[in-house]
Structure 1
Amino acid sequence: MDNRRILLVDDMPSIHEDFRKILDPAAGRPAAPQAADELDALEMALFAGDGAAPAGGSAAVPSPPAARFEIDSALQGREALARVQSACQAGRPYAMAFVDMRMPPGWDGVETIEHLWQADPGLQVVICTAYSDYAWEEVLGRLDVRDRLLILKKPFDAIEVSQLAQTLCAKWQAGRQVEQHTRTLEAEVRARTLELEQANLRLREDLAERQRVAAELQLAACVFDNAMDGIVVTDAHSTILSVNPAFSALTGYAPEEMIGRRLSLLRTEHEQPGFYREQWQRLLREGRWAGELWNRRKDGELFCERLNISRVQAAPGQPERFVGIFNDITEMRRSEERIRFLAFHDALTGLPNRALLLERLERALAGARRLGERIGLMFIDLDRFKPINDTLGHAVGDALLVQVARRLREQLRQHDTAARMGGDEFVVLLERVNDPAALGRLAERLKGAIGQPMEVCGHALQVGASIGLACFPDDGQDAVTLMHHADASMYAVKGAGRAAPGDQQSGGAPDGATLAP
């Protein structure tokens, strides 16, 4: 079945409305301009956080998908559990749920997810939160997370929300189809192969059954030849005896190129040492093996496949046979990798987002304390960006932010981190700082690189930057203190530049970047 059912779990009804606007924008679209303005204001309140329009229009509502989502709402965890139980009993489970981390009173997000997974182990969950009462390591350990849980940080990005919903619903559907199809085909091939071997024995005993056996063989050949999944039959030494047309289509090898050769022809160096030995030992011990692995097509391209291998019990005096059934899941794996990337990176610039920055900052602080080193933190806010974004449009603003991100990366060392916090704000994390004065020199270099004129969508543009600095251990012993110090320093610099544009520490144009002391 085509499952596009989504459950929204949040104690704030306004959040439900905003999610519905993103996931089903065609429903209830306002006709009057005043109503549209009110809905736009609600969008900015949810996704911009500070009331300002997101830079580059990242909160714009995406175009409606070809098929609409079926969305249900629950204001508390117990209500959500009741809906999931009812959906499962009706045979119409939800593909995914967006769950808020904090929902006073009653269950919080973690407790809610635990109960929901007890009712429906296949439910995919996206945690929606700006902060949590738990450490993320505790949350992930408590929920025994595998591939059913993603984290969406507030403020939300409408494109991320839409992509998460589209991809997770498609993943749910693909997973169910693959499981059902594989089970059905595996059982049919195993049963048919066994029937054929039994028919051959009966043929030697009774020639009168020759016609019925021929019909059975023809039916098995039809299943084998027309299966959508690749099928390969080998002997006990992994020598290929036959392949179906789908096998040739997926691997690029014609039957005559494979028959008589070993399956190891498709192997890659992608798998861990000992992987194939363990696979074969388990197959011999248990009679079957199922899992994912990377193989190589004839043209050299790598592809990921879901493979099921079964040992066909041989009749007395007959050799053993092994039947492998596989399908190509490369695109599904790439979609999963894209989801993981979006969870920790800015969708526009590709830079690390706040979550990944904080993770790297905590790791850098631990290393600096252990080795007695310094680390630096820079908060960067673009000058003159808002007028450009407002007058030339979000598309130009987005392209400008992409160029600024590229210029930041070009000026940094490989082990340093440039992150986008949102809007036109960036943060730079510098590890192994030997000379604190080098932070000021780097800030000047970054300011100069950002301030160079640029060509953006046919417009000659130039922006400046206000940069605030913080250094461990001088300005703070922990991540929160360092972030606060650098942020306050940047705003002090920006305020000083506006109050006395002619007295800049770094010189240059009045709206250019300055460095905090």
Structure 2
Amino acid sequence: MKHAAHELGWVQAVAGAAPRILLVDDMAAIHDDFRKILGGTPPVDAGLDDLEAALFESAPSRAGPSAAPGFELDSAYQGSEALVRVRTAAEAGRPYALAFVDMRMPPGWDGVQTIEQLWRVDPALQVVICTAYSDYAWEEVLDRLDAKHRLMILKKPFDAIEVSQLAHTLCAKWQADHAVARHTEALEREVQLRLGELREANQQLQQELAERQRREADLQLAASVFHNALNGIVVTDERARIVSVNPAFTRLTGYEPHEAVGQTLRLLRTEADRASRADDLYHQLWLQLLATGEWSGELWSQRKDGSRFCEWLSLNRVPVPPGQPRRFVGLMADVTEQRRQQDSWRQQALHDPLTGLANRAHLHGRVDEALLRAQRGGAGCCLLFLDLDRFKPINDRLGHDVGDALLREVAERLKALIRHDDLAARLGGDEFVLLLDGAEPADCGERVADRVLASLALPVQVGEHSLQIGVSVGIAYGPLDGADRDTLMKQADAAMYLAKARGRQCWHRHGAAPAGPADPAASI
């Protein structure tokens, strides 16, 4: 009964019900901030919010016009209270998709203890740790929680856009994970059902029947299954040459039986695939089929008219009497749309929705990969932290539509300045990062920074507005300035603030001697 209720909660979430979010923090004001951001409530007085931010050195709590409703928010002020809410929600069949958990909540459980308890009740719960300070090293936290893809970190003071992006992305991921799992299970059940019918028919065909009438009946049954199956069926010999196909195969691929029989299954591979790793993969799957008698998985194939489609292919060896040639049966289904939907979800989870650049999670993964390669003897990497100058006055004076258009143009200019293997990311607001992977020679970051300064010094035309901005750039090299991601990013961020202190519209490299303002007028 408990399992059924939990499944119902998933069905409701996937069907379009508002995702549920649990806010876990011992300070009521933090709950109010989250509700403003995620609930779409506009600020009462923008001036008061700015004044409060200046007095307490924190980010304004207002969500701004870009906040969008669509979440069901609940609050818990201690870890034990959060555990009760998560257990009750799971038992009621309406589990939470996401929990924002404060790291420090005296006098009860801290954030790590709370998360451990919550995941014992609901392992699928997505969690964002909210922290300005932690009693643990982050490596210790991630190792202790075995976080994998369920955990992200949000540093205080947090940015409203970052909170909104995390909520939307993680809730969409939570919904997508189950939708994909249910689809995969359904597809596997269907494939197994069809294979069961084929095995039964082939077993009947293998029997030595004394009576001609029964042998004919068995043949008719096998022919009926073969010709009326909704999925494509292909029968091959041990060299992958096609022996026969059913009508569904022709509908799926466009090849008539006389065009397919005698060809190998490479008939459905593209010319590019035949000269690439894709064809090697095809060769490996056939070797596995010969060794184990079965193989199943997704393949990109090409129809007779040249169009490509993603097929779910399940191949099995057919038992035959001794002395008879070996045969293999393949069951084919078109899963192109499902594959594209999965790719779309993956794209949304790793990219900034406004600019299309990589988001923080994508950047973190790429930096980790670059540093790992460097540790194994490969080339290092370079991080450029960028903070736009004069963006906030433009955004406040001309509105968010103009500000968003300006950010998109900045993103396009940044992408034009880097190589194919490099990465441009937006962390939120007007903060951008360039990752130069395999950074060589040693001054490549400085040369790219010069090009960034020159590019963003040019006016940006947005409608009737000709906008003049600039940028401050901080540079750090890995693993020279930091052997782990957090250290390297902190060094690049610190270098960027030193560039701002010099007067903006300049760059500063971590570890370099401080210099005076590059442009005295820019510091006025």
Q: Same fold (TM over 0.5)?
A: yes
- What secondary structure is seen at the aligned counterpart in 2 of 1:3? helix
User: What does residue 295 of structure 1 align with?
Assistant: 301
1:395–1:256 Cα change, 3 Å: farther
Residues 504 and 517 of structure 2 are in contact (CA less than 8 Å); yes or no, is this contact kept in structure 1?
no
Partner in structure 2 of residue 248 of structure 1: 250
How many matched pairs? 459
Instruction: Give the corresponding residue for 2:466.
Output: 461
Q: How far off its partner does 1:404 sit?
A: 0.6
Query: 2:242 matched to 1:233?
Result: no
Paired residues for 1:51-450 under 5 Å: 51=60, 59-61=67-69, 79=84, 82=87, 86=91, 97-98=97-98, 105=109, 107-109=113-115, 112-113=118-119, 116=122, 126-129=126-129, 139=142, 143=146, 149=149, 154=154, 155-156=162-163, 157=165, 159-161=168-170, 163-198=172-207, 201-202=208-209, 205-209=210-214, 213-214=216-217, 220-267=222-269, 268-269=273-274, 271=277, 275-315=281-321, 319-358=325-364, 378-412=384-418, 417-429=423-435, 431-432=439-440, 434-435=442-443, 439=446, 443=449, 445-450=451-456
3-state SS of paired residue (2:301): strand
Gaps of 5+ in 1: 30-34, 118-122, 498-502
User: RMSD of aligned C-alpha atoms?
Assistant: 5.1
- Does the Cα contact within 8 Å between 1:381 and 1:490 map onto a contact in 2? no
Structure 1 CA distance for aligned equivalents of residues 177 and 256 of structure 2: 36
Higher relative contact order (CA 8 A, sep 6+): 1
User: Partners in 2 of 1:374 and 1:177 — Cα distance?
Assistant: 45
Q: Which residue of 2 aligns with 1:505?
A: 518
SS in 2 for 1:310: strand
1:207-230 CA distances to partner (integer Å, 9 max, x unpaired)? 4547xx54x655554543443332
Partners in 2 of 1:176 and 1:18 — Cα distance?
40
- The structural deviation recorded for 1:410 is 2.4
Q: Secondary structure at the match of 2:465?
A: strand
Give the unaligned 5+ runs of structure 2: 1-7, 14-18, 53-57, 155-161, 507-515
Contact 1:293 1:305 in 2 (8 A): yes
CA contact (8 A) 1:362 1:479 kept: no
How much does 1:351 deviate? 2.5
Does 2:461 correspond to 1:452?
A: no
Post-superposition shift, 1:190?
1.7
Q: Which moved more, 1:486-495 or 1:397-406?
A: 486-495
CA distance in 2, matches of 1:263, 1:366: 39
Instruction: State the distance in 1 between where 2:224 and 2:140 align.
Output: 52
What is the rounded CA distance, in whole Å, between the counterparts of 2:230 and 2:264 in structure 1? 23
Aligned to 2:5: none
Q: How far did 1:382 drift? A: 2.6
Contact kept, 8 Å, 1:470 with 1:485, in 2: the verdict is no
2:159 paired residue number? none
Deviation at 1:258, TM superposition (A): 1.0
